[in-house]
Structure 1
Amino acid sequence: MIITPPLKPVPSVDFSSIIPRTDIKYLAECDESESVREVKELYADYLSVNPNLFSLNIPNCMANLNWLPDALTRSMQGITAVLLSLKLNPVIRYRAGSQAAQLLAKMIYEQITKDSTLFDFRSNMDGSAPPLLLVLDRRDDPVTPLLHQWTYQAMVHELLQIKNNRVDLSDRANVPKDFKELVLSGDQDEFYGNNMYANYGEIGSTIKALMEEFQRKANDQKKVESIADMKNFIESYPQFKKMSGTVQKHLCVIGELSGLSNKRNLFELSELEQEIACKAEHSAQLQRIKKLIADERVTIDDALKLVALYALRYERHANCDTSSLLQIIKTRGGRPQIVPALIEYAGNHVRQGDLFNMVRITDAVKLTRNLIKGLKGVENVFTQHTPLLKETLEDIFKGRELDPVFPAINSELVPFRRPPQEVVVFIIGGATYEEALAVHQLNNSGYKIILGGTTIHNSQSFINEVLSATNGIQFKHTKSMIKYCSTDNI
């Protein structure tokens, strides 16, 4: 490779992460005309989704239940860039029992040791505990990605899919031409930034109030009777036009969410999902599941999620009847092999601790639905489920002992008994917007937490990750479902 001379000298070549000296040397050798004046490392090798959330855009990180080599390297580089951009040299802990988490934690530690001068931030000179990098495994909590979501950002991702802060509505009927692709970014859209964590009912109320304000301002614009009125109109027109676009955009999104929620009967389905996740009522839940998944109005994907949650919850129940549910799925033309794959990926034999006993139920006041008066057709759904991550983080900030559940790689930094003031969490196998909401709530209580993952999952992308991760392995823990397994796994 030879760098041909540009018309003007290149001020700098910018890289988004640490560049090995060998690469810089190679670049210099290729720059025969000495066109490049400077090389910079900017440490931005990740996608910043929200102020407290980042993604590495790796949709599938495993094969045969082991790291894909490129995904492992990419994850190490991305997390290192996050730590450098935040100027953190953390204690590194990982989930005990997860080889994937241990391997990634070890690679990050080796990279920090190798480039120790870059990480010499002296952030705990005042005696405070060093920051913490916590490497977790999605296989410890397969429930959270399967649940339907009712906060704005999470709901949009579940039903419409957010990719790089964009929503593609090009295949949706009755969507205006200008709104076939929408940007949903809190940095560019104040309404979205203020309401991404609001629940469905609150969003409906807020968009109604915004629309009423827009209508009032639109009426004011019609009253242009003097030179002063004209001047005010010209000055306020850009803001008025921006407000018009915001109202139209979010009405478009809300309309799609409302239509899909009603068409797919998501209120009833979600209520049952929450009950399976939070309550052990086997017999009653089994009958409701059988009734719903046999209903042709329920999509096969929604039916599969119910069966998957049931299989996870009651895997070791004496009367577990997953096979009969899978037969209904098979009869409907679905993919029953998803459920045994999920059990192999994140069944009882994999998970550390008891996932379902750790799930809290919120106040009875917040049970499932609370109709907001004055807003026809929009319900405010309060979920009962709390992600495992939230409980883990609360334990950390309470100063509870982390060993041996979360052993440290760099033990020389561990003697601090006070809880860390800053925590970066990385989830191998993908984070979710429900977990981002939990982090947002904790940060509002005064903590400093950043959440990241190999990707940001909705239920379908998570299922695809599970199928990819288990492809080709021999299933050892789902013998009772063998006739529903893929032939590649038998």
Structure 2
Amino acid sequence: MVLSLRPRQRHAVIELLNLTKNSNKSSIAASFGANADADADEANNYKLLILDAFTHDVIAPLVTVKDLRDHGVTLHLRLRQEREQIPDVPAVYFVSPTPENVKAISGDFANSLYDAYHLNFASALPASALEELATSAVRGGVDGRVKCVRDQYLGYVSLEDDLFDLAIDDGYRLLHDPRVAEKDVERLIANVTTGLFSACVTLGQVPVIRSQRGGAAEMVAKELESRIRDALAQRDNPFEGGLRAQYGGSSVQRPLLCLFDRNFDLTAMLQHAWTYQPLVHDVLRMRLNRVDVDADAPTGVTTGAKPKSYTLEHSDPFWAENASAQFPKVAEEVEAELAKYKEAIKRVNAQAAMADGDADALGNSTAKLADAVQSLPELQEKKRVIDKHTNIATALLGSIKQRGLDEYYAIEEDLLVGKGDRPSVMSLLQATGRGSAEDKVRLAIVYTLSATEGILPQDAEEIEGALRASGANTSALAYVKRMMSLNASLKNMSGGGDAGHRRSNSSQGNILEWADKLYGQSINTITKGVKNLLSGERVLPIAVAFDALMANQPGPETADYAYLDPKAPHGKPVGPREGDPAFHDGIVFVIGGGNYLEYRSLVELKSRERANVRSVVYGSTSLCHSETFLSTLASLGAAAS
């Protein structure tokens, strides 16, 4: 079993477009008195696709406009926009089961907009919403035209075969802003759980769950275990049949799902990248596998003129081969591919010239000319790919030169393996140093987090002074320093006395309660990840922790992680035992944001000799650009000041 999420999700979307009843999905059209199986003729007819903002992002990396047309979709529309009546065309809805969407669909029923309605929901539709739809359909006189209502369990965005997110952009803020209402945090936990449940259903796997204790990760782990346990007890078990049967989802050994809070390692969200895929994401702000590049701008970042838009996926051979390569290697490969293309063009021109000059052998001339013509489409595609990556690499190079990203990367790498020095940091933080104000703040935070022995007060003051002189907002740095200070205080307070005495100390309890509300329950792990780097090779902390958890052995490295098994008897203690077999397939999910640096670090585990990893899927609430995450920290710092 190798975990691969995106092909399964794409297959499910294609079935949805073809009006195919997947036996893995819960079909409840019988509630309307309609036949749940679509007629073959209707499946082949032209149809409309109705999406909301979230499901539009779900399908964007999976299917192209051409794919939609090939499957009969002539027009795709947004559910919440004003739409005209098209009475002779069936409509396929793929939306989230929110009250607002249910109300909008009920309005479509009332206006009798379409000939038939195929309702597909990204996650499970609540019973109350189903009743509302049924009532609206009867009231609008369209109950006989509602062909199906299905829970598709596709509530996540697949960007690679082994990469997904939930498009929850404000997850970190919701978990750490003291002004956020408790109901909003509970809604976030429920949404994350729903997305993870959908991913597990698509994979057809019931994972063993490990999570950090005491924070959002453990809350999600417990809710997810409960939801999976309830699903396994249902008659229509979504983990059986359908995609599971088609893709061979059943396996003797189950995967391991590891849940982390974002504070487990903040440096990964802020450090500068030097490999191709993370650089494109962070510098050119790639989203949904698409990037916009202004070839005329010195840094490639769009400036208002219409940019060139490129899709970056594994169907692109250059991207597939070089996504994990460091930027200088990418630049060399672009030059090498361009040289190969020019050489191929020379050969085609030579063949054409030989064909023109070979007047005595008409057959031989025709064959040579045919060979030259047949090679042209392939050469044109190669030229298109080369031009794409030439423009992208040129844009990256402009930002690297202008901002000194190579210097930031080198200094941060040294810091994170314990070899950095203060003078080199200060040389960039000064107003005369290269880089944007945000680059300087990111470096300052990485320096602060990597200083495991702490920073002298006068040094900290000098850093802040240099940032202010550069015009930088220091609120994000202040927030991180406040977290670290509180972390140190809590450690000192818990250093003496027994647990009972500590629990009875009401003063300390109030501080702990305030700390949990203000900074999140995972503050005690904020610098733990950095220490993992100091004695070994450069592997990101989340990959180190995941590798240890995959070994499935008891020990101090994994003792702080909760262990939950939805298939275990309820209430029975579970956990790894000495001699248990290692896991070989795993899912890593970060609550509060993730990025391509962590994704690449986890993927590289598969090539390490000592690792137990055969396949790994990485997911997060959102794939966040570093400057966006820095802005979130700054807003939290301003709110706490």
Unaligned runs of 5+ in 1: 363-383, 472-485
Alignment partners' CA distance in 1, 2:467 and 2:170: 25
User: Which protein has the larger Cα radius of gyration, Structure 1 or Structure 2?
Assistant: 2
Alignment partners' CA distance in 2, 1:69 and 1:125: 31
Tell me how far 1:179 sits from its aligned partner. 6.0
Change (3 A) 1:28 1:430: same
Alignment match, 2:293: 169
Change (3 A) 1:202 1:228: same
Alignment partners' CA distance in 1, 2:329 and 2:479: 37
Tell me how far 1:64 sits from its aligned partner. 6.2
Preserved CA contact (<8 Å) 2:278 2:597:
yes
Within a 5 Å distance, the mapping from 1:38-187 to structure 2 comes to: 38-61=148-171, 62-63=173-174, 65=176, 68-97=185-214, 99-116=215-232, 117=234, 118=237, 120-121=239-240, 128-170=252-294, 173=297, 180-186=308-314
| 2:462 is the counterpart of 1:324 | yes
| 2:489 is the counterpart of 1:489 | no
Alignment match, 1:214: 341
Alignment partners' CA distance in 2, 1:464 and 1:409: 35
**Matching residue's letter, 2:332:** S
Within a 5 Å distance, the mapping from 1:390-469 to structure 2 comes to: 390-401=543-554, 404-410=559-565, 413=568, 414=574, 417-444=580-607, 447-468=614-635
Helix, strand or coil at the partner of 1:358? helix
Preserved CA contact (<8 Å) 2:318 2:385:
yes
Alignment match, 2:87: none
Helix, strand or coil at the partner of 1:407? strand
Q: Across the two proteins, how many residue pairs are aligned to each other?
A: 447
Helix, strand or coil at the partner of 2:466? helix
Tell me how far 1:143 sits from its aligned partner. 1.1
Preserved CA contact (<8 Å) 1:360 1:386:
no
Preserved CA contact (<8 Å) 1:59 1:461:
no
Preserved CA contact (<8 Å) 2:155 2:195:
yes
Preserved CA contact (<8 Å) 2:529 2:542:
no
**Matching residue's letter, 2:467:** I
Tell me how far 1:392 sits from its aligned partner. 1.0
For 1:341-376, what per-residue CA distance to the aligned partner results, in whole angstroms no more than 9, with x for missing partners? 1234577721337322211566xxxxxxxxxxxxxx
Alignment partners' CA distance in 2, 1:243 and 1:336: 46
Alignment partners' CA distance in 1, 2:279 and 2:535: 21
**Matching residue's letter, 1:181:** S
For 1:181-210, what per-residue CA distance to the aligned partner results, in whole angstroms no more than 9, with x for missing partners? 111122x31221222112223212322221
**Matching residue's letter, 1:180:** K
**Matching residue's letter, 1:157:** H
Alignment match, 1:18: 124
Within a 5 Å distance, the mapping from 1:275-424 to structure 2 comes to: 275-279=414-418, 285-294=421-430, 295-314=432-451, 316-317=453-454, 319-320=456-457, 321-344=459-482, 349=487, 350-352=523-525, 354-360=528-534, 385-401=538-554, 404-410=559-565, 413=568, 414=574, 417-424=580-587
For 1:151-191, what per-residue CA distance to the aligned partner results, in whole angstroms no more than 9, with x for missing partners? 110111121111111112248527799962111122x3122
Alignment partners' CA distance in 2, 1:257 and 1:89: 42
| 2:320 is the counterpart of 1:193 | yes
Alignment partners' CA distance in 2, 1:331 and 1:171: 32
Preserved CA contact (<8 Å) 2:448 2:455:
no
**Matching residue's letter, 2:149:** V
Tell me how far 1:394 sits from its aligned partner. 1.6
Mean alpha-carbon deviation: is it higher for 344-353 or for 430-439? 344-353
Alignment partners' CA distance in 1, 2:440 and 2:286: 23
Tell me how far 1:279 sits from its aligned partner. 0.5
Preserved CA contact (<8 Å) 1:89 1:119:
no
Within a 5 Å distance, the mapping from 1:2-17 to structure 2 comes to: 2=107, 3=109, 4-5=111-112, 8-10=115-117, 12-17=118-123
Alignment partners' CA distance in 2, 1:46 and 1:125: 19
Alignment partners' CA distance in 2, 1:75 and 1:171: 38
- CA RMSD in angstroms comes to 3.0
TM-score under structure 2 length normalisation: 0.64
Change (3 A) 1:347 1:451: farther
Tell me how far 1:467 sits from its aligned partner. 3.3
Preserved CA contact (<8 Å) 1:134 1:425:
yes
Alignment partners' CA distance in 2, 1:79 and 1:347: 34
Helix, strand or coil at the partner of 1:25? helix
Preserved CA contact (<8 Å) 1:140 1:346:
no
Alignment partners' CA distance in 2, 1:56 and 1:326: 36
Mean alpha-carbon deviation: is it higher for 29-38 or for 137-146? 29-38
Change (3 A) 1:387 1:410: same
For 1:276-307, what per-residue CA distance to the aligned partner results, in whole angstroms no more than 9, with x for missing partners? 111066xxx22222222112433222211221
Helix, strand or coil at the partner of 2:530? coil
Q: 1:231 aligns with which of 354, 365, 370?
A: 370
**Matching residue's letter, 2:330:** I
For 1:53-97, what per-residue CA distance to the aligned partner results, in whole angstroms no more than 9, with x for missing partners? 111122221336166454333222211111110011122221013
- Residue identity over aligned pairs, in percent, reads 19
Alignment partners' CA distance in 1, 2:149 and 2:128: 13
Change (3 A) 1:100 1:344: farther
Alignment match, 1:483: none
**Matching residue's letter, 1:105:** A
TM-score under structure 1 length normalisation: 0.82
| 2:393 is the counterpart of 1:254 | yes
Tell me how far 1:339 sits from its aligned partner. 0.1
Mean alpha-carbon deviation: is it higher for 192-201 or for 159-168? 192-201
Alignment match, 2:359: none
Mean alpha-carbon deviation: is it higher for 265-274 or for 120-129? 120-129
Preserved CA contact (<8 Å) 1:264 1:297:
yes
Q: 2:407 aligns with which of 240, 256, 268?
A: 268
Tell me how far 1:22 sits from its aligned partner. 3.1
Alignment partners' CA distance in 2, 1:120 and 1:258: 47
Helix, strand or coil at the partner of 1:431? coil
Helix, strand or coil at the partner of 2:586? strand
